[in-house]
A and B are shown apart, each in its own frame.
Chain A
């Protein structure tokens, strides 16, 4: 009589042994599939984030028409800084991706000319900031006062605060805005530490939004020097030039850039500048 119990044990061991290679192959295939899927998902989420950031920046541009209250400037700025930092971090990511994808080498001969011209980078920051900021703030105060009186809308909970007392008395909404320059200064500090082109681009854009075209020009130029393949730096640079009454230089710059990059946005901007739509 055969020892069936022993044979069954051996058979079980044999079966397990025979399934091991299959299990390894299947698990390897599954791992690869999951890994590939994860990479794909990561790419799609990154793309979505980029789109969201672009949308967010567009929205912010529209919403920044708020009144500045100089007396309340001394109040802390935690939420806004957080928002900006998040935005900058995302910008960093997108910028890194752009660097990897876009490797353009435009002619930089005009840069030397610009460097030798009258626009220093940081020296003017203190002096010109004050004068320009004062002018622009005054201008904004005027325009914003009118805008708020006519359309009393609350823009953002993070950026605004309703003054209850005033609301009770004459139904006016006073929007409290934290000083954007303080925020920019913290970003500038960060930029000086890590020399990240995403930060300098952000600063350039912010200065441009604030109407400080000298500084927006400077930071766009700095961004371009760090990485000349970032399209936005070219655009901000050109826009700043136009605002600084250097239209010809802006056109030349854009033409040089379009020649190398075939950028649609640059083409649109060039057309706008040439046709006079953008002034």
Chain B
């Protein structure tokens, strides 16, 4: 096995949110399709929620990529916390109106009400739990005009559940929950991800036993899995550079190296 395979395998698991890296799994694909269908429906708001690392940002990124060719879609990965800045950014991106001075909610509502689109523009807001309650309330009022449709993602915590209840209970017509992967899904995710980058040999190194161990350590969290496998291949690269690979079984992923990677990433408190 050549050294480039470990290196390339390692790079596959770099934790980046890129729609190209989206891995289609059966359950996830079904959820994604239902989300896409929900956008076509006359809904005011769609809530996408789940624990950190379940792929919400990847979902939004994929949705943005898929929808941008057919309708007006704007993705805001980083929250715009200043209220005026938020209105000004939306006014510029959706309505192509540039404001140099301050823009308040009333002025922005006038703009929203005066404009009609053939297809309702979709605004994708990631990490919506970072928006203030006041701004969230105003986003709710904006969605009530049916001029703009919002898809927001929230971390699933008790606090965020409360926000969802208080602000969106009556307005959100669709909510989609993302969950951690099961062991079999995780195996498929790892192998598909590697095979997508032509790392067939390293994909074959993962058997059910290894993946179960990884699943046990990461609890099926995609972000943690990416981190763990990145470190795992980093370890393989290190041993290879030190010419100590002969001591390690390269036909399948070493359990010892998985645990070492988990110790390094903090998944195991050694």
Contacts and interface: CB of A to CB of B under 8 A. Distances in A.
Given A1-B241, A4-B242, A14 B263 contact: yes
B263 A1 contact: no
Interface string B217-259: 0000000000000010011011101101000000000001001
A17 B268 CA distance: 12
A1 B264 CA distance: 12
Most buried by B among A13, A14, A15, A17: A14
Contacts of B239: 4
Most buried by B among A10, A11, A14, A17: A11
Contact of A7 (B237, B244, B260): B260
A7 B259 CA distance: 10
Given A10-B270, A11-B270, A17-B270, A4 B235 contact: yes
Interface of B: 231, 234-235, 237-239, 241-242, 244, 256, 259-260, 263-264, 268, 270
A8 B260 contact: yes
Q: Is the interface of A mostly helix, strand, loop or mixed?
A: helix
Given A2-B231, A10-B270, A14-B270, 17 more contacts: A1-B237, A2-B234, A2-B238, A4-B235, A4-B238, A4-B239, A4-B242, A7-B264, A8-B260, A10-B260, A11-B256, A11-B263, A13-B270, A14-B259, A14-B263, A15-B259, A17-B270
B99 to A, nearest CB: 51
Interface in A1-41: 1-2, 4, 7-8, 10-11, 13-15, 17
Nearest to A14: B270
22 contacts: A1-B238, A2-B231, A2-B264, A4-B235, A4-B238, A4-B239, A4-B244, A4-B260, A7-B235, A7-B263, A7-B264, A8-B260, A10-B260, A10-B270, A11-B256, A11-B259, A11-B263, A11-B270, A13-B270, A14-B259, A14-B268, A14-B270
A183 B108 CA distance: 121
Contacts of B244: 4
A217 to B, nearest CB: 80
